[in-house]
Amino acid sequence: MWTIAAVLKWATDDFRGKRIDAPRLDAEILLAHALATTRIQLVVDAMRPLSADELARFRELVKRRRTREPVAYILGTREFYGRAFRVDARVLVPRPDTETLVAVALDRTRDRSMSLRALDLCTGSGCVAITLARERPTSQVHGTDASPDALAVARENALRLGAYNASFAEGDLFAAVASARRFDLVVANPPYVPTTDIAGLMADVRDFEPRMALDGGADGLGLMRRIVADAPTVLVAGGRLAVEVGAGEAGDVAALVSARGFTDVTISRDYGRIERVVDGRWAAGS
């Protein structure tokens, strides 16, 4: 008899044998999804037998996870800053690390909170742009991305989450912005993995997430240099630039930001205490 407890043990052992991180957690999340219930309810109903249909649904999810397909893609959603974002293979899976970028951006623009004009480069799923728009409902947030597929996901998320003050445009970084537009804030979570490091990434990331959103060039800073160099052309005097960086890159990016003329350059750590966000103030104006 396949009870909830029995299938959880089976899936956990199966995932562990395939060296999947957090095998028990993944098993619980997938089973809760298959049963349209919660992980807490799985504990309460541990001895309940599963029907044939329930077992079939769960086995299909397990098969997908065995291939190392990210759980977020299997579920079709990922929580970010307390909101459920739709995600699939067209976009990078939003990560808790990126919540630090949002927190820094909100903190540095408190003096402009009622009329913030923000630009989110490499917007992907729109998680940063939409979160800024929802946290600051009187702001205007514009997201850009070179991938039309990613923008389709971002627009869907904006509609679902009520971010009516967020807009999106396709293009290469600042090329997607009208020349006359100026912003109080520019944020970006660009690709920052060095090309030679991609082969060593977890299979969940390397084999499923869009390479376009990962590959940062020879040293990981290819797009970052362009963002730092061109951000002043769209920033108002006193505007802020905040960028997410890879582990070990914060010092180099902070040096780039300072050399470009930004002041008050700060490095912030993520939940794992890794230096994750670099920000600075543009005092000279555009």
In this predicted structure, what is the pLDDT of residue 207?
Answer: 93
| pTM, rounded to two decimals | 0.92
CATH of domain 90-282: 3.40.50.150
Domain 4-67 classification at class level: mainly alpha
Q: How far is CA 262 from each of CA 103, 149, 179, 235, 254, rounded to the nearest angstrom?
A: 20, 33, 21, 11, 10
pLDDT tens-digit readout, 16-70: 999 998 999 999 999 999 999 999 999 999 999 999 999 999 999 999 999 999 9
Average confidence (pLDDT) over 253-277: 96
Q: Which residue type does 131 have?
A: T
In sequence order, the 6+-apart residues with CB closer than 8 A to the CB of 78 are 72, 84, 85, 87, 93, 94, 125
Separation CA 19–CA 263 (nearest Å): 46
Report whether 181 contacts 234 (CB < 8 A).
Answer: yes
Element (H, E) at 202: none
**Where, residue-wise, is CATH 3.40.50.150 in the chain?**
90-282
**Where, residue-wise, is CATH 1.10.8.10 in the chain?**
4-67
pLDDT tens-digit readout, 119-162: 999 999 999 999 999 999 999 999 999 999 999 999 999 999 99
**Whose CA is closest to 277, among 75, 157, 99?**
99
Could you tell me the two tokens for 155? 């627009």
| pLDDT level of residue 286 (50, 70, 90 thresholds) | very low
For residue 284, pLDDT over 90 is answered with no
